[in-house]
Every structure is written in structure tokens, then in C-alpha cells.
């Protein structure tokens, strides 16, 4: 079974976000093994040095990167839902069985993580709360698998 990791900075505090992610995780269980890893947000916030904050978070993130790594960032490649589904299919057809999607904190994602990723993915030029991005990503993963299984979910 395909293994997909979501490696994220910070814990989801809002119950409605947790419930939404949990619902999509449950739906995805028939297609893949989705694992979510939350690393701590940097405790360096007091000194205000953004570079130090991102480096600290990058060090924590790097410990959990497995398989093909996809960094979510605004400068990544944008894809439509059908294109995202087709891209995943091509990866799986080439033998990729483990994917890691990386979501940074509200401060963003360190350049080191972006450079080290196998690819960069953007969901929009707009800025979204990083906690909401987990919901959007899990829904799009579910949508991709439904597209690939010719389900009417994607209209």
C-alpha cells in the first residue's frame, strides 16, 4: 500500500480543522496509509530572527522526510486537481510507494527544505493558514484518488 506522510510544523489547535483532517484520513485509508507527523514550532520566537526560526524548524522536519519529498510553498508548481491526480499516478507507476508532503509554519518553510525537496507544489498564490493547508491537502489527496478510481466525487 502507498504510504503518504504529512510532515507539518505545529499542532492543530482548532477542533474543526482536526475533525476535517481526521475525516479525510479515514476516507483515504482505502487508498493509502496516511501518516501525520507534527514537529514543534520553533521556541526561538522571542528573538525575532526569522532565519533562526526557520532553521530550527527545518532541523526538526528533516528527521521525518521519507521517500519522495514534496514541499508545499507558494513558488511551487501549480496543478489542477486532475493534473495532480495524474501526477500521483505517474509517480506510483514509476514505483514511488512513499511520499512526504511538507507544510511549514506560519513563518513559512526554510529554503534548505525547499531546495532539498524532490519537487515543490503550490495550491495557490494566495496565503492560507498553515493549519488549514492540512485540510486542503488531505482533501486534494482524497480527490486525486477518487479521480483515479473514476468516482463521481470530482465534478
Domain architecture of the chain: domains with CATH: 2-148 (3.40.1280.10)
| pLDDT recorded at residue 127 | 86
Grid coordinates given for 3: 504510504
Quote the crossing angle between the two packed helices 81-93 and 130-148, to the nearest 10°.
Answer: 70
Beta strands per DSSP E along 19-90? 32-39, 68-78
Q: Which residues of the chain have pLDDT under 50?
A: none
Tell me what pLDDT residue 51 has: 87
95: region left, alpha or beta (phi > 0 left; psi from -120 to 50 alpha)? left
Distances (CA, A) of 117 to 49, 76, 120, 122: 24, 11, 7, 13
pTM of the predicted model as reported, rounded to 2 decimal places: 0.94
Radius of gyration of the chain from its Cα atoms, rounded to whole angstroms: 15
pLDDT in tens, 23-55: 999 999 999 999 999 999 886 555 668 888 899
Going across the sheet that includes 68-78, the strands are: 32-39, 2-9, 98-103, 68-78, 119-122
Amino acid at each position: 500500500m502507498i504510504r503518504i506522510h504529512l510532515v507539518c510544523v505545529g499542532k492543530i489547535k482548532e477542533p474543526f480543522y482536526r475533525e476535517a483532517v481526521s475525516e479525510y484520513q479515514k476516507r483515504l485509508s482505502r487508498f493509502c496509509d496516511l501518516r501525520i507527523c507534527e514537529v514543534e514550532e520553533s521556541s526561538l520566537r522571542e528573538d525575532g530572527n526569522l532565519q533562526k526560526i526557520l532553521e530550527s524548524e527545518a532541523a526538526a522536519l528533516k528527521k521525518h522526510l521519507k521517500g519522495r519529498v514534496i514541499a508545499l510553498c507558494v513558488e511551487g508548481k501549480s496543478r489542477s486537481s486532475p493534473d495532480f491526480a495524474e501526477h500521483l499516478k505517474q509517480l506510483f507507476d514509476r514505483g514511488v510507494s512513499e511520499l512526504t508532503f511538507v507544510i511549514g509554519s506560519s513563518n513559512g518553510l526554510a529554503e534548505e527544505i525547499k531546495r532539498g525537496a524532490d519537487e515543490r507544489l503550490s495550491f495557490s498564490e494566495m496565503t492560507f493558514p498553515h493549519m488549514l493547508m492540512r485540510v486542503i491537502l488531505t482533501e486534494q489527496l482524497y480527490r486525486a484518488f477518487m479521480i483515479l478510481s473514476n468516482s463521481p466525487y470530482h465534478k
